[in-house]
């Protein structure tokens, strides 16, 4: 994993936000970041050797490294003396839907100097957090890692991360920089944005002409998988009483990749992802509980 480690401030409010005054909420500071969340869920789902390269500020580097260690993730966390750890404000409403306010911070300062080809020694698969592609420095680093993986015949996956950031970057440019990626893991909004198609199944099928395997999450609708231009599997959701949807997609990705690397077919992997996503929405924050 090459990705983002961030500090999440999750505020779960049961009443609608009241502009200009106070709204009661359950507020917690938790470890997060799409990249780190995926790594933790992959480890939680049974992968024995999960590694992550990320950059954090010295303000909270020790805490984040300890949280990853407790989740059984091997962390190479680069400390940044000048830029603080990225902070994300997650506003979670009564329906468990989350809205993010995302700072920049150290995560997007991950630089080519932080990367070494030796990080791929013994690695079966490389996953890149989509957030890296939305800033110049981290995008350069992600592309170096992608090229290095291709040279070693290591498969690569990417989660697009943010429909809002993709729109700001431009769909054409975003798809261009992902050339060579083997597995794309968008949510429904991202899949439709990347193709301009109104139906997620059609969007996933179209994307799978560019990316060999596409696993698209549908929120409460489950997930679907497409390959070589056609739909291969549609997986129903796992039932859950949702508290906070933060990190549900990361849970799906981590479990999907863990299952695939363990030999599962695409339908089995998507089902594992849906189960992990259902588990994720029952707790606050984007990480699995410690075992």
- Domain map of the chain by residue range? 6-17+26-280
Closest CA to 255 of 274, 240, 283: 274
Yes or no: domain 6-17+26-280 corresponds to CATH 3.40.1190.20: yes
Q: What is the pLDDT of residues 8-48, one digit of tens each?
A: 999 999 899 999 999 999 999 999 999 999 999 999 999 98
In the chain the first and final C-alpha atoms are separated, in Å, by 21
Q: Under a CB-based contact definition with an 8 Å cutoff, are residues 186 and 214 in contact? A: yes
Q: Under a CB-based contact definition with an 8 Å cutoff, are residues 212 and 268 in contact? A: no
Q: What is the pLDDT of residues 52-103, one digit of tens each?
A: 999 999 999 999 999 999 999 999 999 999 999 999 999 999 888 888 898 8
pLDDT, residue 98, reads: 84
């Amino acid at each position: 994993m090459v990705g983002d480690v961030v500090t999440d401030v999750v505020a779960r409010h049961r009443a609608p936000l009241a502009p200009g005054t106070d709204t009661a909420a359950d507020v917690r500071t938790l470890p997060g970041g799409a990249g780190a969340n995926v790594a933790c869920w992959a480890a939680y789902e049974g992968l024995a050797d999960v590694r992550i390269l990320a950059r954090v500020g010295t303000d909270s580097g020790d805490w984040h490294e300890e949280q990853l260690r407790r989740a059984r993730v091997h962390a190479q966390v680069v400390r940044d003396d000048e830029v603080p750890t990225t902070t994300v404000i997650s506003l979670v409403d009564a329906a468990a839907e989350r809205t993010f306010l995302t700072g920049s911070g150290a995560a997007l300062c991950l630089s080519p100097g932080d990367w070494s080809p030796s990080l791929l020694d013994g690695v079966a698969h490389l996953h890149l957090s989509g957030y890296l592609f939305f800033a110049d420095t981290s995008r350069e680093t992600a592309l170096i890692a992608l090229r290095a993986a291709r040279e070693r015949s290591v498969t690569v996956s990417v989660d697009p991360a943010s429909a809002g950031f993709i729109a700001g970057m431009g769909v054409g440019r975003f798809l261009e920089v992902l050339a060579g990626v083997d597995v794309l893991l968008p949510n429904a909004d991202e899949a439709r944005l990347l193709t301009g198609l109104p139906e997620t199944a059609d969007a996933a099928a179209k994307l799978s002409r560019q990316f060999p395997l596409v696993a698209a999450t549908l929120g409460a609708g489950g997930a679907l998988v497409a390959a070589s231009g056609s739909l291969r599997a549609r997986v129903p959701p796992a039932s859950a009483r949702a508290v906070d949807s933060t990190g549900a997609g990361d849970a799906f990705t981590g479990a999907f990749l863990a299952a695939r690397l363990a030999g599962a077919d695409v339908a089995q992997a998507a089902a594992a992802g849906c189960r992990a996503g259902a588990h994720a929405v029952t707790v606050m924050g984007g990480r699995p509980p410690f075992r």
